[in-house]
Amino acid sequence: MVSDTKNKKLIYKEKRRKEIAENALDLILSKGLSNFTMDEVAKETGVSKGTLYLYFDSKDSLIITAFGILVERLKNYIGKLIPKETSKEEKAKAIIKLYSKIIKEFPSDDLLRLFEILINSIHNKKRIKELVELFHEYYSQLFELWSEFVPNKTIAIILQAMIDGIGIYKSVGVDFEEGELCPSLEFIIGKIIS
């Protein structure tokens, strides 16, 4: 009976934690990483700021969890965007268009703030474990997605690194012709597929 009550409390706490992170993600998406506050998250969620810190030990920890929810939403979006009966070429084009849109619309300041959080988390064993788990799951799913189009995991890793690199370049001010991004990625992936 005691373990049943304990399990219910853990389930409630995890559900509440996710709800808080979802509210934070909505604020991040509307205000940016640097412009939302813990006070706003507490207000949106209907908890005190002190209670908020029972679930997340810092704003960075909350951002990491919110990023995980963003990854989950992206995965679900891709699943809905691309029906199973779609050809490999059409699936690849849809994914490229999605990535191009994300690269074009994701604010550079937010990407740099995310890098700052990642770098600052290196010395926090709990946070680095969260990040390793999050990125392992995220990239495993992406590599599984790319495996439909490319001959092996190594090529999937190179392809994803290239796309991530474009985002990084944009965040530090490297200019590229945005209108050429989709056609260029389609050309490269077309060469890999054929």
Mean pLDDT over each residue of the chain, to the nearest integer: 83
Task: Please report the pLDDT score of residue 67 as a whole number.
Answer: 83
Place of tokens 């290196």: 122
Contact 110, 33 (CB under 8 A): yes
Q: Is the domain of 105 the same as that of 43?
A: no
pLDDT tens for 112-125 read 777 777 777 778 88
Q: Is the domain of 110 the same as that of 24?
A: no
Residue 129 zone, left/alpha/beta (φ > 0; ψ -120 to 50; rest): alpha
pLDDT tens for 59-111 read 888 888 888 888 788 777 777 777 777 777 787 788 888 888 877 777 777 77
Contact 91, 82 (CB under 8 A): yes
Q: How far apart are CA 44 and CA 38, in angstroms?
A: 10
Domain count of the chain?
2
SS3 label, residue 56: coil
Q: For residue 178, what are the domain limits?
A: 58-193
Nearest CA-CA partner of 36 in 62, 17, 15? 62
Nearest CA-CA partner of 28 in 98, 106, 137? 106
* R_g over Cα of the chain: 19
Q: Is the domain of 50 the same as that of 74?
A: no
CATH of residue 49's domain is 1.10.10.60
Residue 173 zone, left/alpha/beta (φ > 0; ψ -120 to 50; rest): left
Q: Is the domain of 2 the same as that of 78?
A: no
Q: What is the mean pLDDT of residues 18-23?
A: 92
Q: Is the domain of 51 the same as that of 69?
A: no
Give the percent of the chain with pLDDT over 90. 13
Q: How far apart are CA 69 and CA 124, in angstroms?
A: 21
Q: Is the domain of 109 the same as that of 164?
A: yes
- For 113, other C-beta atoms within 10 Å of its C-beta total 19
CATH of residue 114's domain is 1.10.357
Q: Is the domain of 96 the same as that of 168?
A: yes
Q: Please name the helix (run of DSSP H) or strand (run of DSSP E) that holds residue 123, with its range, or none.
A: none
